[in-house]
Amino acid sequence: MKKGNQYGKNQWKVTLLNLGVRLGILAILSGGVWKAWPYAAPRVSAWLEEKKNKDDGETEEETFPEGGRLSVAMMETREETEFPRKAHTYKFVPSDGTWNDAAKAAREDGGYLADITSAEEQQEIEMLMEGYDGYSVIWLGANRLAGDFAWMSGEPWDYTNWAEGEPNNETGSESYLMMYRSDGKWGWNDAEVSVSEYYQGHMGYIIEYGD
């Protein structure tokens, strides 16, 4: 029993000694950190600020590429997807044929005789014809065989550009739509299917391609 008691006392001494050593080391380290902090604090603060700016920059770049224009690009893409624009192109073909000949040739070429449903389209075709000074008569894609003039493409008959005094159905059989140039100005006219006989070498038709 005495031996055991002596061992227990020694063990407590060792434990207390170890604890004292550890507390002493901790005190030394704490004191060192406390003394070094005034010198280390600015560097730690600068490092934290740099890391924050870097993280913010990466987030902004991912969310707003090219200077924050992601939302604009997405809106443009969405508009093109939801509201597709119809692309129409036009081609002038010199021809002395009748309106029926022109309509058939346009279909065989993958299009149809042009319809003009707005002032913008009228202007576009006039600009096309600026390259054909010698041509003054053009077949367009409408007739009134069913009573009133209508576009054969099915487009609504909302816009017109009749020349002065037209349509007049002067001969009683002027059932086809043509456009002619007089004094540098284009206007519409109702005409007979055989009017091409009077304009040999100076007429043709417009093919329109699109939906």
Judge whether 194 and 98 are in contact, CB under 8 Å. yes
pLDDT at 78: 34
Mean pLDDT of the chain: 76
d(CA 160, CA 33): 90
Which H/E stretch holds residue 99?
A: helix 99-108
pLDDT at 69: 35
Whether the Cβ atoms of residue 152 and residue 139 lie closer than 8 Å to each other: no
Q: Which residue's structure tokens are 């540098």?
A: 184
pLDDT at 88: 82
Res 194: pLDDT: 84
Predicted pLDDT of residue 196: 84
Other CB atoms within a 10 A radius of the CB of residue 77 amount to 10
DSSP SS3 for 60? helix
Residues paired with residue 177 on neighbouring β-strands, in sequence order: 190
- Positions of the chain with pLDDT lower than 70, given as ranges: 1-87, 211
First-residue to last-residue Cα distance in the chain? 111
Give SS3 for 142: strand
Q: pLDDT tens, 35-88?
A: 555 555 566 566 666 666 666 554 444 333 333 333 333 333 333 333 333 468
Place of tokens 């600009």: 127
Radius of gyration of the chain (CA): 45
Is the pTM of the predicted complex or chain greater than 0.75?
Answer: no
